[in-house]
Structure 1
Amino acid sequence: MTTERIDRTSVGLRSERGPILLAVMLSVGLVAIDATILATAVPSVVADLGGFTQFPWLFSIYLLAQAVSVPIYGKLADQRGRKPMMLLGVGLFLLGSILCGFAWSMPALIAFRLIQGLGAGAIQPIGMTIVGDIYTVAERAKVQGYIASVWGISSFVGPTLGGVFSDYISWRWIFFVNIPLGLAAAWVLVRRFEEKVADKQGHTIDYAGAILLAAGGSLLLLGLLEGGVMWDWAAPTSIVILAASAVLLTAFVLVERRAAEPVLPLWVLGKRVLNSANSAALLIGLLMIGLSTYVPLYAQSVLGTSALIAGFTLAAMTLGWPIAASFAGRIYQRVGFRTTMLMGALIVVLGAGILLTVTSRSAVLHLALACFVIGIGLGFSASPSVVAAQSSVDWQTRGVVTGANMFSRSVGSAVGVALFGAVANGVVASRLGGDHADLEKVPASVLAPAVHDVYYGAAAAAVVLVLAVAFMPNRITERPLR
């Protein structure tokens, strides 16, 4: 098999790839819209259900469930096939959406968001794995651009739908709107996606590893997400949670060394291409959470824009990403993976530099330009790293590799929440003489330097991204699609 042509029989597909890609894009669209649609409806949800102090858990529990389940789904997809795991993810997401729509209290809504998160944990990595299965390296970056465009479109559609449903219909419809999208994606997958999977009888499931990874990963992310928010970093609660996480993850490593089919094989940590790709994913997750959290806050509280304009300012990043991703394939085919990713990382550094020049007297377009340039850089860095990682392994381990990459990005987001939150709150506390975690109520004269220090942190992360992608091999021998 050459890298220029796909033998559909050999990859177990008897149907055209277009409908399958459409199903993947619809499935990813579920997760992408959900990432932004709920934020605009929080006031309506709280007014209806109460529980103002609990609403941050609507986001934390979803992120936790999604992040810790990603590596497990990746392994199961390698053992049981992509199709059943993808359908399971879409089914769980739809079930969670329906239950969220009928939630009668804030605790119930939080519990149902957990189910949604478990579904999202399958959709993203397995969708990317399916793309890696049916497209060659030459084709994959263009397809990655299509999927990235789903996120770009959703960054506009999500907040708009959230506002419309909350103001004119009911916040419950932000969850019900997932039903037609999910059913359409499932129908296409059932009808058009056919795969051949090796005999399942010879596989074993690493239950101990899965439980330890889920428990240890959940505690790690919980400690990072809520440290300095729900409790102080030096509080006994924080120390116990992070210590328990360290113990469980250490036990996980010991179990994986002896497991017949480990849920996250340790060889993933020993390959140069995977280490570079996963390090880049972690830093990209960190940068994205820093921008998505503090750019809208700065636009509204310091530059004095509306919430809608602030959202569109951030959307400039998600517009730049798919534009770059769609061109990345042509570039790395000519100059190599490392060169392309280095170019992207340097563009991220340039965007971070522009971000540092934003002041309280700047126009909002100045802030949007920085986000757009960073988005361009991330598109040239992220898409080739995923393609390189998938291309370095065969079908039997592609799910694990993709899952590890997505998990790294989730960990990066959690680290970013903790790191940037600590930076911003530290500046605010030093200027106001106390602990002020609610940044939205801080005076603009104090908030501006606090967020500016966050931008310095983002710039530092961009420089480290350059170092991470420098270790990526420039050329990778593509493994057969199947």
Structure 2
Amino acid sequence: MTTSVSSEPVLGVLLSEREKMLLLLALGMCMFLSSLDGSILATALPTISSDLDGFKLLPWVLTLYMLTSTVVVPIVGKLSDMFGRRPFVISGVVIFLIGSLGAGLAPTMLTLIAARGVQGIGGGFILACVLVVMADMYTPIERAKYVAYILAIITAGTLLGPPVGGFFADGPGWRWCFFINIPIGAIALATIWTTLPNTRQGGRISDIDFLGAAVLTTATVAGLLAAGWAYEAYGWGSAITVGLLVAAGVLLVGFIAIEIRHPNAIIPMELFRNRMYVLTGVIAVLSSAVLFSVPIYLPTFIQTSLGASAQMSGLLIMPQAIALVVMSFIAGRVVERTGRFKQLVVVGCALSGLAAFLLQTMGVGDPLWHVVIYMVIFGMGSGLVTPLINVIVQACVRQEDTGVATSSQMYFRQIAGVIGVALFGVLLTTTYSSSFTENLDEEVQEAMPVAVFEELRDDATLSIDAERIAEVRTTFLQAGGTEALFEEALGAQQEAAATANQRLFFISAIGGLVLVVLALAFTEIPLRGRTPAPKEGEEQPAAASASR
């Protein structure tokens, strides 16, 4: 049986328990701001668009943040291994706050988008460093418990974002969606400044893989834009999408060639000779691409096929987040007591796959409480898998490689999530359109104007937009149709939306089964606890050099 290769956490030796708890609190505040920033705009974007008169540019408020935050993660992870964590954590918070101030003061939509890009860079710095700093503070067996705390904070930020954004948009103004970051971030920054030492690793500027960083950045931007634009604008067969995908592929091959030769590669290729690193990476990528698309598209099913409101769909999914947090705490405690993780990950993957399978059995008009139960099961599975994957990948590499190992896995997960959402979106829309055409009675179709048919066929969410559906209804009735026939058309639309979502959930269930098989292939690495303190008269272990 292999053993954990991580050495004694440097910060665990240098910091007192009080300093570690203060630092953990500050890191949690940073992650809270990052997660809050990702969801707070959901309810404020319409107001922002109206105030800045920038509806056509609205997607870029989210897209540029996603691009910049994703691009910097693997680069910062490697650099933090070379030069220490402190400069990058502090720089990340400062950059994030500068972006927040710029976004809050933005006079135009273009200015806001630019500020969001700056925010994304800071957010990427934070994301790349927080879990790595925790790896420097705690041993693997302790880490599972504390990762659960961070996960709970992230979940709180995600859940609070929409209502807080709505409150600011309707009350003091949408600019406070960004200004709120400044006092919280300032407190976190001050705490990090006073508690986090810099564990110098001896890196030199000349050692940085500048070419690899540039090529990876360009490849990432091309790939993410291709996935996003293919789904939202151009389609997968367009020249723009194909060109971007080809460019991303060629650049990726070039990046690998560069990394093989560079002594300080951004993502060292020798990591891929580590069986556990590869397994955890495949599980993280597959779960992000396949399983975690379920909560993204489930509200569409709830509103179109089950007839619930947007607010109700949000409430029905909320128990999943609560279950995730609870199970992550339980998983952390179990790992802390036993030092073992394999069975927990297997059970977590199985629960997530089971939830997806149960969701694909639901049809039009099924009780809403079924969704709550199935999403609780899904959350339980996610709570067992998500925190432990981070702990496992950090435990299976050397302590000096924790930064690049953790950040590269985050990078792969983010890329997989974007691509998964895009591919599932294509599957949803194409399945819906074909199912609607098949379900529509010939008599209804003959009475339906082409424009009405295309409206219903091309948009599964049409029925939940009261204004648009009223216009379509009027057009249908004016063309000689009847109310009864139009209700049949809406029924066909509901059935088609259910069929499309059922297919997505079924694929997710298969993905869960594959994840179980992969998790069974894990080697049970004994997670190491803290080395006992030396007795009086014994020599203290040498700690890394540090400065504040």
Residue of structure 1 equivalent to 2:521: 471
Secondary structure at 1:305 match in 2:
coil
Deviating more after overlay: 282-291 vs 393-402: 282-291
Structure 2: gaps of 5 or more residues: 438-453, 464-492, 532-543
Question: What are the within-5 Å matches in structure 2 for residues 355-366 of structure 1?
Answer: 355-366=359-370
Question: How far did residue 328 of structure 1 move?
Answer: 1.3
- The answer to whether the 8 Å contact 1:97/1:176 transfers is yes
Equivalent in 253, 257, 260 of residue 250 of structure 1 = 253
Whether 1:119 and 2:169 are equivalent positions in the alignment is no
Question: What are the within-5 Å matches in structure 2 for residues 83-232 of structure 1?
Answer: 83-201=86-204, 204-232=207-235
Structure 1: gaps of 5 or more residues: none
Report the CA distance shift for 1:294/1:445 in structure 2 as closer, same or farther (over 3 A).
same
Residue of structure 2 equivalent to 1:441: 462
Report the CA distance shift for 1:57/1:382 in structure 2 as closer, same or farther (over 3 A).
same
Q: 1:127 and 1:356 mapped to 2: Cα distance?
A: 36
Question: How far did residue 11 of structure 1 move?
Answer: 4.1
Q: 2:292 and 2:393 mapped to 1: Cα distance?
A: 23
RMSD: 2.5
Secondary structure at 2:234 match in 1:
coil
Report the CA distance shift for 1:438/1:122 in structure 2 as closer, same or farther (over 3 A).
farther
Q: 1:47 and 1:457 mapped to 2: Cα distance?
A: 39
- The answer to whether the 8 Å contact 1:151/1:318 transfers is no
Report the CA distance shift for 1:118/1:7 in structure 2 as closer, same or farther (over 3 A).
closer
Report the CA distance shift for 1:428/1:201 in structure 2 as closer, same or farther (over 3 A).
closer
Residue of structure 1 equivalent to 2:409: 405
Question: How far did residue 93 of structure 1 move?
Answer: 1.3
Question: How far did residue 477 of structure 1 move?
Answer: 6.0
Report the CA distance shift for 1:7/1:455 in structure 2 as closer, same or farther (over 3 A).
closer
Question: How far did residue 402 of structure 1 move?
Answer: 0.6
Question: What are the within-5 Å matches in structure 2 for residues 408-423 of structure 1?
Answer: 408-423=412-427
Deviating more after overlay: 56-65 vs 216-225: 56-65
Question: How far did residue 24 of structure 1 move?
Answer: 0.8
Residue of structure 1 equivalent to 2:262: 259
Report the CA distance shift for 1:32/1:276 in structure 2 as closer, same or farther (over 3 A).
same
Amino-acid identity (%): 29
Question: How far did residue 393 of structure 1 move?
Answer: 2.1
| Letter of the structure 1 residue corresponding to residue 47 of structure 2 | S
Report the CA distance shift for 1:8/1:82 in structure 2 as closer, same or farther (over 3 A).
closer
| Letter of the structure 2 residue corresponding to residue 261 of structure 1 | N
Report the CA distance shift for 1:221/1:7 in structure 2 as closer, same or farther (over 3 A).
closer
Q: 2:235 and 2:11 mapped to 1: Cα distance?
A: 57
Q: Which is greater in Rg?
A: 2
Normalised to the residue count of structure 2, the TM-score between the two structures is 0.82
Q: Which string of whole-angstrom CA distances, capped at 9 and with x for unpartnered residues, describes residues 449-474 of structure 1?
A: 22222212222222222233233211
- The answer to whether the 8 Å contact 1:6/1:134 transfers is no
Deviating more after overlay: 332-341 vs 142-151: 332-341
Question: How far did residue 416 of structure 1 move?
Answer: 1.2
Q: 1:477 and 1:210 mapped to 2: Cα distance?
A: 33
Question: How far did residue 85 of structure 1 move?
Answer: 0.6
Question: How far did residue 306 of structure 1 move?
Answer: 3.0
Report the CA distance shift for 1:207/1:233 in structure 2 as closer, same or farther (over 3 A).
same
Whether 1:318 and 2:368 are equivalent positions in the alignment is no
| Letter of the structure 1 residue corresponding to residue 523 of structure 2 | P
Q: Which string of whole-angstrom CA distances, capped at 9 and with x for unpartnered residues, describes residues 111-136 of structure 1?
A: 22111111111112210111111111
Equivalent in 361, 379, 385 of residue 383 of structure 2 = 379
Q: 1:288 and 1:346 mapped to 2: Cα distance?
A: 11
| Letter of the structure 2 residue corresponding to residue 276 of structure 1 | L
Equivalent in 67, 72, 86 of residue 69 of structure 1 = 72
Question: How far did residue 211 of structure 1 move?
Answer: 0.4
- The answer to whether the 8 Å contact 1:273/1:471 transfers is no
Q: 2:231 and 2:204 mapped to 1: Cα distance?
A: 48
Equivalent in 511, 519, 523 of residue 461 of structure 1 = 511
| Letter of the structure 2 residue corresponding to residue 357 of structure 1 | T
Whether 1:294 and 2:281 are equivalent positions in the alignment is no
Question: How far did residue 438 of structure 1 move?
Answer: 5.1
Question: How far did residue 154 of structure 1 move?
Answer: 1.9
| Letter of the structure 1 residue corresponding to residue 340 of structure 2 | G
Question: How far did residue 382 of structure 1 move?
Answer: 1.9
Equivalent in 55, 69, 83 of residue 58 of structure 2 = 55
Q: 1:64 and 1:444 mapped to 2: Cα distance?
A: 35
Residue of structure 2 equivalent to 1:280: 283
Report the CA distance shift for 1:299/1:393 in structure 2 as closer, same or farther (over 3 A).
same
Whether 1:331 and 2:343 are equivalent positions in the alignment is no
Q: 1:298 and 1:412 mapped to 2: Cα distance?
A: 23
- The answer to whether the 8 Å contact 2:35/2:154 transfers is yes
Aligned residues: 480
Q: 1:437 and 1:269 mapped to 2: Cα distance?
A: 43
Deviating more after overlay: 269-278 vs 235-244: 269-278
Question: How far did residue 289 of structure 1 move?
Answer: 4.6
| Letter of the structure 2 residue corresponding to residue 399 of structure 1 | G
Report the CA distance shift for 1:439/1:175 in structure 2 as closer, same or farther (over 3 A).
farther
| Letter of the structure 2 residue corresponding to residue 101 of structure 1 | G
Secondary structure at 2:198 match in 1:
coil
Q: 1:21 and 1:112 mapped to 2: Cα distance?
A: 28
- The answer to whether the 8 Å contact 1:391/1:479 transfers is no
Whether 1:392 and 2:399 are equivalent positions in the alignment is no
Question: How far did residue 479 of structure 1 move?
Answer: 9.8
Report the CA distance shift for 1:294/1:23 in structure 2 as closer, same or farther (over 3 A).
same
Residue of structure 2 equivalent to 1:42: 45
Question: How far did residue 341 of structure 1 move?
Answer: 0.8
| Letter of the structure 2 residue corresponding to residue 197 of structure 1 | R
Question: How far did residue 476 of structure 1 move?
Answer: 4.2
Equivalent in 10, 13, 16 of residue 15 of structure 2 = 13
Question: How far did residue 331 of structure 1 move?
Answer: 3.1
Report the CA distance shift for 1:360/1:17 in structure 2 as closer, same or farther (over 3 A).
same
Q: 1:238 and 1:401 mapped to 2: Cα distance?
A: 30
Q: Which string of whole-angstrom CA distances, capped at 9 and with x for unpartnered residues, describes residues 211-265 of structure 1?
A: 0011111111211122132112111111110000011111101111111211110
Residue of structure 1 equivalent to 2:345: 341
